[in-house]
Amino acid sequence: MAIYYVATDGSDSGVGNSDDPFRTINHALNSGLEPGDEVVVRPGTYNEQVNINAGGSAAGNVTLRSEVPGEALIRPPSSAYNAVSINDNYVTIDGFDITGNGGDGIEANDVHHIEVLNNIAHDSGESGIQFNWSEFIRVEGNTTYGNASDGWFSGISIYQNRNITGDTETEGFRTVIKDNVSYDNITQTGQHTDGNGIIIDDFQSTQTDGFPNYTFPTLVENNLVYQNGGKGVQVVWSDNVTVKNNTAWHNNQDDQNSGTWRGEISNSQSSDNTFVNNIAVADPSVNSNNTAIDSTSYGGYTNDNVTWSNNLTFNGTPGQASVRTDGGNAGPTEANGNLLGVNPEFVNPGVNFALAGDSPAINAGTDSFGLPENDLDGGARVVDGAVDLGPYEEGSGGSGGGGSQPEPEPEPTNAAPNAQDDEAGTTTAGESLTIQAGALLQNDGDPDDDSLTITDVSSGNGGSVEMNDNGAIVFTPSASASGETSFNYTVSDGNGGTDNASVTVDTTAADDGGTDGGGSDGGSTGGSDGGDTGGTDDGDTGGSDGGDTGGSDGDDDSADNSGGDGETFSLWDEGATPETITDPDGKSVELGLEFTAKEDATLDAVRFYKSADNTGVQHVSLWNSDGELVARTDADNLTSEGWQEVAFDTAVDLEAGETYTASYFTESGKYSVSEEYFTGSSNEGPISIGENAGVYAYTNSADDAPSQTYKASNYWIDLVVDQGGSSDVSPDSGSSSDVIGEADTVTVQQSGPDQWHQVSFGQELDDPAVVMSTMTSNGAQPEIVRVRNVTDTGFEFQMDEWDYQDGSHVSETLSWVAVEAGTHTLEDGRTVTAGHGSGDGGWSDVSFDGAFGDTPAVFAQVSGDENGRAVTERVDGVSSDGFKVSMSDQEAANGSVSGEAFDWIAVDTGGRASNGSMAGVKGGVNDTWSDLGFEDSFANDEFAFLADMQTTNGGNPATLEVASIESDQAELRVREETSNDAETFHVEESVGYAGMDVGQIVAAKSDADDAMA
């Protein structure tokens, strides 16, 4: 058995042992683990979405364990969905503090022999712990709270167990949910149907055809569930379940749930189940339907062979049984040892659920159905020869639960930071050297991942030191100093932890030949080994301006810049201003903007915003993707402050698909900046900009291409691009008659319903059809993409959530493809056809008019807004002759779909990603993620990707989701909406897909260019 270690101060280039740990959990999990291997994670915060893709075997689980329980925190990035996904068998995850964004804290699908132990899973939009279609599950010792905010989810949810191992011989409980505490899981948005503490859900597979009832035994024991929005323990559509020694107190707090079956412990539509030694205390003041127990059914179903033995019920009124039995079902009776309408006498209800010394629940249990090994606090389960009701045994020495608001974030012991010694360059005796604090902190670390600051400096050898008003350190060697001088500094983590380090400065004697020798120049840079590597000294400046790159709607473009023969493009107009006009950083620096040319063009000039204190600007430059200098010109005749424009002596050709960096160099620093600006990619006219497009390099020589990034900063460098084309291309080359379309991507977020976004084409297209697809699945809720107002110059679109949702949606990246109506032959010989149509809730036929010999991939798109609610299109019957389209709205909608316009594009399958265009069809895609591998890889980082269902095998409204797109692969799944019910299983569909490089779509000359009717 091998043990690998992960720590916040580790490195993924390390070996992963205790002395040289890895930095990320995923790297450790992908290090070729064998059965029985263990990944041990040290305290700290890990900002990653954890995917456990390689499990163990019957010989031993692969274990992911927090070295100190509760002190390794998994906090996925905002773009992630689940925090932890278990994707293979024989896995143990133990001891983490986990938050899951919009998805589940821990999710496992189609797996077996999984242990989820001693975790704190909280504040996730879906369930804290979620299993689907699995078996041999153990969920033990966990705490779940604050989950299920976004719909029909729960603290712990086990859904539709299936016999995926094929093992029919192993006896005993295959699913064990024990020793957990689950509270405050309450639905806030979406359907208010769940928010349970623990739910055993639909093992009968009533919501999914084709799967048998899963009747292998399940155990729910020794759990404390309280103040959840839904039921405490719910068993629904599930048989052969034992619920034993649990306490459920004051659940069903969500009064927006309109259901009337509101038992603390609930058995509905389920048979052959046993409920024994439980305590159920209802709170009817929230809703008069709240009861301690419900045993209910409908539609003629009867809960057969259900045992109720030695349970206690109470609703605040002594003598009221607080039991509901709709459907003619049997409930608990006093004859079976049940204590009905009896106060359990907790030590302090809602705070301490231990039994008081005079509690009637003491020794009131039975051992006829077996006993837990220990109570919830780990004490003896039997005292004085008999078992108590509920999870706590009086007299065993336990604490009894700890309160209605247990500490959600256990405070780990603070660890002191680790300050490392530095070398800070050179200066001359008697001349001050200013060093930014960030340069010194760059190589310092903290085990708890706390932010570090320098709080004090002290003189060391050969000079004096102080901190100025900007937080920078000013070291002044004595007039007689020579050689190595130094000072000390103290670093603090803000939580009481400190450490000290020494800084060495190479000082040249004042009378040493009078040479500059890098003295003043070197001094101005500060921190030669720190200032070049992180730019953290910029961290005090800037501030967020929303992360919008500007110009995306055409409002910020400046179309009248001089220097080219055609229309020119810039990102920002004269009115755009940085968040921080003057950054205090005074080091010499090359500042740049990285961009990719989407088409052949020429760069006439570089623009940049200059502060009045930025007095050292020398020249502007253009670099290629290899960091080689392409062009440079001196920056003359600059104004004191504001936008500057410096034209190259000769306009520079930009080649479509190539990446460049435009920059300017300043000796004085004091540049303008906005932090957290380039947080997403965007397409702006003839160029595209990626995340972290603002780059820099600290340098004195000005021969270093800027490539470092810091906090997604924008250093306000702009371009003047002549869109007339490359200077050495003849007017007839690449003429517009060969351009029949365009492909691109766009990243947007939606603050609410009816928010439309504008896309402009690079050049006019004749009667284009437009189709869009999502390329990410960041949001917790499914969304539709709707297009409208398609013209020759562009279109509008929105992410349109189903009407039962709130209409706001997190940032997603979408692809769009526009193709002129008609039939065209692509450069690789494949056929592409595009057109328009209209339809409603019925099926509308579309004919290809003989364009295809084989079945193509088809993509359809709603292209109007006639319906005042969310509507999507469904495709079926795809053949070489054509296909049919129908419009669909949410399942709970009232009324029929009105006539709606749609666009469509069909393309021959084949092609190659490496050549910039490919298409295909994949079968077997359902509601679980399905891997799609391309035959080879796209050469360019940016490409558009379309995907659409080619079949309508499932009757429920659904959309196709795409995720994890890379140059050679993607993931697909079908996502049903849940306006009418919570069931999301979907049968297998065929999916058409197509990818193409961003930019113009060029076709060979065709005689079939007439628009199709």
Second-level CATH architecture of 568-722:
Sandwich (2.60)
pLDDT for residue 551: 33
In this predicted structure, what is the pLDDT of residue 700? 75
Q: Do domains 568-722 and 736-832+910-1004 have the same CATH topology?
A: no
Q: Identify the weakest region by mean pLDDT among 4-8, 9-13, 458-462, 716-720.
A: 458-462
Per-residue pLDDT tens digits for 695-714: 998 887 667 889 888 888 99
Find the range with the poorest average confidence among 257-266, 301-310, 399-408, 832-841: 399-408
pLDDT at 524: 31
Per-residue model confidence (pLDDT) at position 529 = 33
| Statement: residue 511 has pLDDT above 60 | no
Task: Give residue-wise pLDDT tens across range 681-700.
Answer: 776 778 988 888 999 988 87
SS3 state at 130: strand
Max Cα-Cα span within the chain: 106
- The predicted structure's pLDDT at residue 496: 80
Question: How much is the pLDDT for 736?
Answer: 38
Q: What is the pTM of this model?
A: 0.47
CB atoms within 10 A of CB 1003: 22
- Is the Cβ–Cβ distance between 718 and 644 less than 8 Å? no
Q: Provide the sign of the torsion angle of the four alpha carbons 978, 984, 987, 992, taken in this order.
A: positive
pLDDT at 81: 85
Name which of 28-32, 78-82, 552-556 the model is least confident about: 552-556
Residue 280 has pLDDT above 90, yes or no: yes
Q: Is residue 543's pLDDT more than 60?
A: no
> Would the pLDDT of 1012 be above 70?
no
pLDDT band at 726 (very low <50, low <70, confident <90, very high): very low
Residues 354, 346 contacting (CB under 8 angstroms): yes
**936: pLDDT confidence band, cut at 50, 70 and 90?**
confident
What's residue 549's pLDDT? Answer: 33
Q: Is the pLDDT of residue 597 over 70?
A: yes
pLDDT digits (tens, 9 = 90+) for 888-933: 887 777 667 778 889 999 999 999 998 899 999 999 998 888 899 9
% of residues, the chain, pLDDT over 70:
89
Which pLDDT does position 408 carry in this prediction?
40
pLDDT at 460: 67
Can you give the pLDDT at residue 403?
Answer: 38
62 or 829: whose pLDDT is higher?
62
CA distance 834 to 847: 11
Q: Could you give the percent of the chain with pLDDT greater than 90?
A: 54
pLDDT tens-digit series, residues 655-686: 988 999 999 999 899 999 988 888 777 767 78
Q: What is the DSSP string of 884-943?
A: EEEEE--TT--SPPPPEEEEEEEE-SEEEGGGTEEEEEEEEE-SS-EEEE-SS--SSS-E
Q: What is the arithmetic mean of pLDDT over 964-979?
A: 88
pLDDT at position 256: 83
CB-based burial label for 563 (10 Å; 0-12, 13-18, 19+)? middle
The residues spanned by each domain of the chain are: 1-101, 106-387, 422-530, 568-722, 736-832+910-1004
3-state secondary structure of 428: strand
Q: The tokens of 267 are what? A: 């058995």
More confident residue, 522 or 43: 43
> What is the per-residue burial (b if ≥16 Cβ within 10 Å, else e) of 834-856?
bbbbebbeeebebebeebbeebb
Q: In the CATH scheme, what architecture does the domain 736-832+910-1004 have?
A: Sandwich (2.60)
Taking phi first (over 0 means left), then psi (-120 to 50 degrees means alpha), and beta for anything else, what does residue 399 get?
alpha
CA distance between the termini of the chain? 68
Give domain 422-530's CATH number out of 3.30.70.100, 2.60.40.10, 3.40.50.2300, 3.40.50.1260.
Answer: 2.60.40.10
pLDDT category, 555, cuts 50, 70, 90? very low
644 pLDDT band, cuts 50/70/90, is: very high
| Band of residue 211 on the pLDDT scale cut at 50, 70, 90 | very high
How far apart are alpha carbons 364 and 313 in whole angstroms?
Answer: 13
Measuring CA to CA, which residue among 778, 760, 779 is closest to residue 770?
760
Neighbours of 587 (CB within 10 A): 26
The helix (run of H) or strand (run of E) holding residue 862 is strand 857-862
The pair of three-digit structure tokens given for residue 822, joined into one six-digit string: 């008609």
Report whether 278 contacts 265 (CB < 8 A).
yes
Mean pLDDT calculated for residue range 456-461: 80
* Three-state secondary structure readout of 289-345: CEEEEEEECCCCCCCCCCEEECCEEECCCCCCCCEECCCCCCCCCHHHCCEECCCCC
CA distance 386 to 631: 88
The Cα 596–Cα 493 span in angstroms is: 40
Tell me which of 1008 and 181 has the higher pLDDT.
Answer: 181
Q: Which amino acid is at 881?
A: D
pLDDT of residue 778: 81
Residue 387 contacts residue 277 (beta carbons within 8 Å): yes
Q: How far apart (Å, rounded) are the C-alpha atoms in residues 745 and 177? A: 45
Name the amino acid, one letter, at 721: V
Task: Tell whether the model's pLDDT for residue 544 goes beyond 80.
Answer: no
3-state secondary structure of 537: helix
**Residue pLDDT, tens place only, 55-91:** 999 999 999 999 999 999 999 987 788 999 999 999 9
Question: Is residue 430 scored above 90 in pLDDT?
Answer: no
Residue 109 has phi, psi (to 5 degrees) of -125, 135
pLDDT-derived band at 469, boundaries 50, 70, 90: low
Please, is 514 exposed, middle or buried when counting C-beta atoms within 10 Å of its C-beta (0-12, 13-18, 19+)? exposed
Query: How far apart are alpha carbons 196 and 223 in whole angstroms?
Result: 13
Nearest Cα to Cα of residue 593 among 490, 721, 428? 721
Could you give the CA distance from residue 460 to residue 124 in angstroms, rounded to a whole number? 51
- Structure confidence at residue 510 as a pLDDT band (50, 70, 90): confident
Identify whether the C-beta of residue 155 lies closer than 8 Å to the C-beta of residue 193.
no
Rounded Cα gap, residues 500 and 517, in angstroms: 31
How much of the chain is helix, strand and coil, in % rounded to 5? 5, 40, 55
Residues 181 and 230 sit within 8 Å (Cβ to Cβ) = no
Statement: residue 632 has pLDDT above 50: yes
Average pLDDT over residues 871-881: 91
Q: Residues 989-997: what's their mean pLDDT?
A: 94
Dihedral, CA atoms, 385, 390, 395, 400, nearest 10 degrees?
Answer: 170
